[in-house]
């Protein structure tokens, strides 16, 4: 790897960063991140980054606001230390679900995009953001990468002749179609309405699922409400147990763990865009996106195409 390339691994992505650094055969840039008694943080870059092509790896996962500020502080420290080019690599982008405004609510995705835009980044890399249209919120060029091929391969062991790929809502149909193509399976989707941040109502299933084993695919698993509603709707429509659940981002907040323990789900597969501490207890199979991230960084550094790594539209 070129000596001009450098990797900075933020506090939210240390495990993934170690894998990426190993694949790139580089030593991550050393820094200190201190928290003062009043809650403020300060970043001090210990290695020289002057004139270098910096890739700052930091997910804005829970606690979202803290990790977002850390991203910006790291970026500011790199810029002030003389970095030549700065790319933010965000395996998970918090606030992405707040992408449309209703009534008098704030538009969180736009606010977060504006804040990130102040970080002095030349480019931004995301992995399976909630919607492909998220790029429209940023003025920075974006490489919207996808972990779907990696996750589909991990799910192949659950594939049966009578399996069906299921999108748990209409917004996930394009993603489910890509999984169905890769796994060579039919697909269906669940009609749902979100009642609140945790409650979801399913109204029916579009597609043939009777007598089939569902492979439910989504971009994230947050509180588990969407998966819970989807499984209920699928069973009512004649699908058979157990289900497989495949997600890119396993947030697992709120009552998610209790929901998963009660559902007839034999296998849960997720990428390591967000670290999960109790993966073994939850029977969660973690698939690493480190090869995807390392490949994207390497190609970007040498100004090579990333077209085959991006979300299909």
Residues annotated as catalytic are: 192
Nearest 10 degrees: CA dihedral of 98, 79, 30, 6? Answer: 90
Radius of gyration, CA atoms only, the chain: 20
For residues 216 and 231, what is the distance between their CA atoms, to the nearest angstrom? 8
Phi, psi of 84 (to 5 degrees): -85, -45
Tokens of 40: 């403020």
Strand-pair partners of 182: none
Q: How far apart are the first and last CA of the chain?
A: 31
Edge-to-edge strands of the sheet including 123-127? Answer: 5-9, 53-57, 85-90, 123-127, 142-145
The DSSP output letter for 312 is: P
Question: Whole-angstrom Cα distance, residue 16 to residue 158?
Answer: 25
């Amino acid at each position: 790897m070129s000596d001009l390339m450098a990797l900075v691994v933020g506090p939210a992505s240390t495990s993934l960063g170690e894998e990426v650094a190993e694949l790139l055969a580089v030593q991550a840039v050393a820094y200190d991140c201190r928290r003062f008694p009043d809650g403020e943080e300060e970043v001090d870059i210990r290695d020289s980054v002057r004139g270098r092509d910096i890739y700052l790896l930091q997910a804005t996962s829970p606690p979202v606001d803290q990790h977002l500020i850390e991203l910006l502080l790291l970026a500011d420290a790199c810029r002030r230390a003389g970095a030549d080019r700065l790319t933010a690599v965000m395996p998970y982008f918090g606030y992405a679900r707040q992408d449309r405004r209703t009534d008098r609510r704030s538009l969180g995705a736009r606010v977060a995009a504006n804040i990130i835009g102040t970080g002095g980044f030349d480019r931004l890399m995301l992995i399976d953001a909630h919607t492909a249209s998220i790029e429209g919120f940023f003025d920075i060029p974006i490489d919207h990468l996808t972990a779907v091929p990696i996750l589909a391969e991990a799910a192949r062991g659950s594939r049966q002749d009578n399996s069906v790929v299921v999108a748990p809502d209409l917004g996930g149909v394009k993603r489910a179609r890509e999984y169905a193509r890769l796994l060579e399976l039919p697909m269906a989707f669940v009609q749902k309405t979100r009642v609140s941040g945790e409650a979801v109502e399913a109204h029916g299933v579009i597609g043939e699922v009777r007598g089939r084993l569902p492979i439910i695919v989504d971009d994230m698993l947050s509180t588990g409400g969407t998966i819970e509603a989807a499984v209920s709707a699928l069973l009512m429509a004649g699908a058979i147990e157990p289900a497989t659940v495949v997600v890119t981002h396993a947030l697992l907040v709120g009552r998610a763990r209790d929901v998963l323990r009660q559902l007839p789900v034999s296998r849960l597969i997720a990428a390591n865009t967000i670290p999960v501490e109790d993966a073994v207890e939850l029977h969660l199979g973690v698939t690493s996106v480190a090869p995807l991230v390392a490949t994207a960084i390497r190609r970007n550094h040498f100004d090579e195409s990333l077209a085959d790594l991006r979300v299909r539209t």
